[in-house]
Amino acid sequence: MDAVLTPLGVLVLALLREGDMHPYEMMRLLRQRREDRMVKITNGTFYHTVSRLEQQGLIAEVGVDRDGNRPERTTYTLTGAGPVALEDWVRLHLGRGDDTQKYRVALSEAHNLDRAEAIELLTAHRDALAAEYAAMASGLHNARARPVSEQYLIELDRYAALLRADLDWTDSLLARMASEDFPWGVGALTPENRAVHEAMRKAAQQ
């Protein structure tokens, strides 16, 4: 079946790209990394998401462990279709900004794409931001020239400031990504990076 991914499903696929895990470990890692800032994580929705990904053929069971008196834990792995679905979803939402949550998740997983493709998609997003900011700034200028009382422009002024800040940040990110010194992808992790990730995984397994 065609995979219809939720933002939480994307985060699960991204975790399993790092290695096989059981759901409890995945949930703890997501919370340790503060991914729950972007996606609400509850036990019910998480296990439902894992079950749905398995039904879609994107992940599969690879073993069941039992540690002492703890409940059995089923470990999952990505199937061949998993990384493809992950990359397609990131590709679809990285260049857009019409859904803030999906864009944030796509941005957090942009490293799953090739650097050049990620830069191209983020540039498209940047251009859309620039066009929206220009339109908003022009509208504010015209309103003030009429003149419209500032008390009616507070929210518009705030939104224009956020757009300007987002545009400046995106320009800065694109400049950093253009340099080969900016690490990109799993292969770019230093031994120190890998040690930190491994320590977090071990802590999540407890």
| Tens digit of each residue's pLDDT (9 = 90 or more) over 131-148 | 999 999 999 999 999 999
Is the residue at 26 inside a domain? yes
Give the pLDDT confidence score for residue 9 in this predicted structure: 97
Q: What is the dihedral of CA 37, 115, 129, 156, to 10 degrees?
A: 20
Residues 96 and 161 both lie in one domain:
no
Do 200 and 32 meet the contact criterion of CB atoms below 8 Å apart? Answer: yes
CB of 99 within 8 A of CB of 93? yes
Q: Does 187 have pLDDT greater than 80?
A: no
pTM of the model: 0.88
Q: Are residues 73 and 138 in the same domain?
A: no
Please compute the mean of the pLDDT values over residues 62-67 and round it to a whole number. Answer: 80
3-state secondary structure of 26: helix
Query: How does the average pLDDT of the chain come out, rounded?
Result: 91
Average pLDDT over residues 190-197: 69
Q: End of a domain among 53, 80, 106?
A: 106
**CA of 193: how far to CAs of 20, 181, 188, in Å?**
19, 15, 9
> Is 136 within 8 Å of 153 (Cβ atoms)?
no
Q: Which two tokens stand for residue 69?
A: 């008196």
Last residue in a domain, options 106, 135, 165: 106
pLDDT score of 3 more than 70? no
In this structure, the answer to whether residues 152 and 67 fall within a common structural domain is no
Q: Same domain for 13 and 78? A: yes
The average pLDDT across 61-68 equals 80
Given pLDDT bands bounded at 50, 70 and 90, which one contains residue 30?
very high
pLDDT (0 to 100) of residue 69: 64
Indicate the number of domains in the chain.
2
In a shared domain, residues 56 and 140: no
Q: Which residue has the higher pLDDT, 57 or 73?
A: 57
Which has more confidence, 68 or 200? 200
Extended beta strands in 123-203, E state: none
Phi/psi at 147 (5° precision) = -100, 145
Q: How many helices (H) and strands (E) does the chain have?
A: 8, 2
pLDDT in the model for residue 197: 66
Residue range(s) defining the domain that contains residue 77: 7-106
- Does the structure show a pLDDT above 60 at 2? no
155-172: pLDDT as tens digits:
999 999 999 999 999 999
Q: Are residues 102 and 118 in the same domain?
A: no
Q: Is 139 found in the same domain as 61?
A: no
Q: Is residue 199 part of a domain?
A: no
DSSP label of 21: B
Residue 204 has pLDDT above 80, yes or no: no
94 and 166 in a single domain? The answer is no
DSSP assignment letter at 78:
E
Last residue of a domain, one of 106, 139, 154: 106
Residues 82 and 152 in one domain: no
Dihedral angle computed from the Cα positions of residues 53, 58, 63 and 68, in that order, rounded to the nearest 10 degrees:
-30
pLDDT tens sequence across 80-106: 999 999 999 999 999 987 889 999 999
The SS3 call for residue 189 is: coil
Looking at the domain assignment, is residue 36 inside a domain? yes
Domain shared by 72 and 135, yes or no: no
And the tokens for 118?
């990620």
Q: Is 10 or 99 the better-scoring residue by pLDDT? A: 10
Residue 20 belongs to some domain of the structure: yes
Q: Determine phi and psi for 71, rounding to 5 degrees.
A: -60, 160
54-76 core/surface letters (b: 16 or more CB in 10 A; e: else): eebebbeeeeeeeeeeeeebebb
Same domain, 43 and 88: yes
What b/e readout covers 92-118, taking b as 16+ CB neighbours within 10 angstroms?
Answer: ebbbebeeeebbbbbbbbbbbbebeeb
